[in-house]
Structure 1
Amino acid sequence: MPDKRLIALGAAVLAASVVFLFWGGAWRSAYVLELRGIKLGGLICVGTAVGIATVLFQTLSNNRILTPSIMGFDALFILMKTLVVFASAGVAVRTMPTELVFLTDTLFMIGATLVIFLLVLRRARQDIQLLILVGVIFGLLFRTLAGFMQRLLDPSEFAMVQANMFAQFSGIDRQALFIAICLMILVVFWLASKHLVLDVMALGRGPASTLGVSYDRLQVHMLIAIATLVAVSTALVGPLAFLGLLVTALTHSLMQSHRHALQLPGAALMGCLVLILGQTLFERILKLDSTLAVIIEFCGGLLFLALLAKGKVK
């Protein structure tokens, strides 16, 4: 029987989705309803992907204040966008179909991440802490290179890059959203049969290996899943560095359990709820469209400092 807390979260997401779709009599216009439906799909896709990816990464690192962004995913995305604009003088951004841009961004981020970090894992004898340190260094390198090239761009080209620095939930392409959902569903189906193994893996390399878990192989599979989910969400709307931390902290407080059968769906639903409620608040009540990402980063940053001060890292 499903956990009552998951049922309550699912009901809250459903209610928030209905309010988001039909606020202000949107059912009278099929065009408005279609636009809101695509945006709602993007919010659900990003919330689910970021929530699950962060839970997996915290299991992998055995640390509750780390998120995949520390590995340099967001910095890699900004560098990639800057390189494209710098190399083509913005022509590629203006002429390429949106779904092709999304697919190229996703595949490039997944490929680059796996090449860099799987090579590091092999040389470091599967030391995940060293991998995180390398991720931090690469993130700084990516940001430095992106910042240098951005200074060489003219104002119109820099505006193209700047549009990708913060997550934007407006103008999500339908085909890109469909591809993102398909990739996310593949990862979710793989995880559905692995939640018990992930519970054992959270005990650490030694105990998990003693209990029969192929730790190194599962670690690689988890990195592939994390890279895919983060690449999908970032390529779809842009970087959201602290959303995962905010979502997982709320999920841990609600679930009070380390079981992945609760944590993974709980984080997915909580991510959807946070984004849908936040977007509804800013669009329908405060009339401040496209500011949700800034508020999430601000709240997530404060939460990071609070968790760090309290020492809640396990």
Structure 2
Amino acid sequence: MPKAPALTSPAPVESAAPQSRGPARRRLRNAPPQLVLGVLLAAAAAAVLFFLFFDLKGNVGYILPRRAIKVSAMLLVAVAVGVSTLLFQTVTANRILTPSIMGFDSLYILVQTVMAFALGAAAVVTAPPTLQFGVEVVLMVGFSALLYRWMFTGATRSLHLLLLVGVILGSLFRGFSSLLQRLMEPSEFIILQDLFFASFNNVDPALLGVAAVIVAAVCAAVWRARHTLDVLALGRDVAINVGVDHRKVVMRVLLACSLLVAVSTALVGPVTFFGLLVVSLGYQLCRGFSHAWLLPIVVLIGAIALVGGQLVLEKVFGFGTALSVVIEFTGGILFLYLLLKGSLK
């Protein structure tokens, strides 16, 4: 991605907080980015270490590697979903849009359902993980590339039209999936249903390595383009005026979003509102900062949310519910709050 000239205002700055808000909240928002990043890094490291070594008894050689695989999957999802959501909101200039809202999760469920209907649920579960992972990633990236190219490279861009297209495609995918599920045997549907929710318990170590390589390569390219992202956040006209090839850069950013979300979804399953949740918290903690600070802060918030949430579920609630259910519930409430607040413009 081309590197844009440095600007004095690298990221959109929202209006000042009302005076009615408490002084503690204002001090938090005015904290230097180094302090925010340091506190989040310490909290994330503590959560990871606590998850790995707390109550480590019995066969340590068996338990510790399994915990390491699980926490590695959570960290990888935190990076992929957090970065992709931040990039997507940057190019769309909207704080409530996420790549998952555009039909990724529905497409993932459709792919799983079609394969189970055609081959049988048992064949899907026992299929080579690498082959299944590759098919899902290719299909999701291809779908998103076509959609984003149509919506974002024209002369005009309508966020309302983008939302409408995403909702319609998602409804279409869900409807077709529901039809095929009704035609399946109940025993096969029960097997298939387990694939519809994000799970960190049965991640294949080989897939984890492949996914880590893809995510690392994409994130390295994104980090090199962090200054260009700051310019994109100022708007299309500003980006073009300072010499950024807006069409090319936006398509590259959207391709990066597609790869990250596809890898995360194919690895552990759909997490629709997780990106919205962590990026919204990131904006609250580092309002006005550039992507050089936003990117690591969002990733660390995601790591704390996933690892810390899993710790609470395991140690406090005793696996009373799946972590993805809690994330979707909290993120859905936040999405409705942002809509009612009037964030959609």
- TM (normalized to structure 1)? 0.94
Q: What residue in structure 1 maps to residue 12 of structure 2?
A: none
CA distance in 2, matches of 1:304, 1:115: 26
Identity %: 42
Q: Aligned letter for 1:54?
A: T
Native 8 Å contact 2:48 2:71 kept in 1:
yes
Higher CA-based Rg: 2
Which residue does 1:30 correspond to in 2? Answer: 61
The equivalent of 2:28 in structure 1 is none
Listed as ranges, the gaps of 5+ residues in structure 1 are: none
**Whole-Å Cα distance in 1 between the matches of residues 129 and 245 of structure 2?**
40
* CA shift for structure 1 position 152: 0.9
* CA distance in structure 1 between the partners assigned to 2:289 and 2:344 by the alignment: 13
Match for residue 149 of structure 1 among 169, 173, 180 = 180
Q: How does 1:1-314 map to 2 (within 5 A)?
A: 3-26=34-57, 29-119=60-150, 121=152, 124-125=154-155, 127=157, 129=159, 130-288=161-319, 291-313=322-344
Between 1:139-148 and 1:128-137, the stretch displaced more is: 128-137
**Which residue identity is paired with 1:232?**
V
Shift of 1:263: 1.2
Higher helix share: 1
Structure 1 CA distance, aligned partners of 2:50 and 2:326? 21
Of 55-64 and 156-165, deviating more is 156-165
- Post-superposition Cα deviations, 1:3-29, rounded to whole Å, max 9, x if no partner, equal 221122111111100000011025961
Q: Distance in 2 between matches of 1:230 and 1:139?
A: 16
The more displaced of 257-266 and 167-176 is 257-266
Structure 2 residue runs without a partner (length 5+): 1-31
Residue 285 of structure 1: how far off its partner (Å)? 2.1
Measured after TM superposition, the shift of residue 68 of structure 1 is 1.1
Q: Deviations over 1:120-157 (max 9, x none)?
A: 555x4463634444333211211111111111111122
Distance 2:136 2:215 in 1: 15
Amino acid at match of 1:145: F
User: Structure 1: how far apart are the matches of 2:293 and 2:256?
Assistant: 18
Please tell me whether the aligned partners of residues 113 and 177 of structure 2 are also in contact (alpha carbons under 8 angstroms): yes
* TM-score, with length taken from structure 2: 0.86
User: Within 2, Cα distance between the matches of 1:244 and 1:72?
Assistant: 14
What count of residue pairs does the alignment treat as equivalent?
A: 313
- Farther off after superposition, 96-105 or 164-173: 96-105
Distance 1:210 1:76, change over 3 A: same
Q: Which residue type is aligned with residue 95 of structure 2? A: R
Letter in 2 for 1:60: V
Contact 1:56–1:222, Cα closer than 8 Å, also in 2: yes
Structure 1 residue runs of 4 or more that deviate by more than 6 Å after TM superposition:
none
Instruction: Give the AA of the match of 2:157.
Output: D
Residues 216-248 of structure 1 show CA distances to partners (whole Å, capped at 9, x for unaligned) of 111100110000010011011100111011101
Equivalent residues of 1:89, 1:157 under 8 A apart: yes
Which letter does structure 2 place at the counterpart of 1:144?
A: G
CA distance in structure 2 between the partners assigned to 1:246 and 1:204 by the alignment: 23
Deviations for 1:276-313, whole angstroms, at most 9, x for unmatched residues? 00001111221116611111111111111222222245
Work out the CA distance in 2 between the residues paired with 1:4 and 1:249: 19
Deviations 1:6-62 (A, max 9, x none): 122111111100000011025961110000000000000001111111101111111
Confirm or deny: 8 A CA contact 1:241 1:297 kept in the other structure. yes
Give the Cα separation in 1 of the matches to 2:203 and 2:240. 43
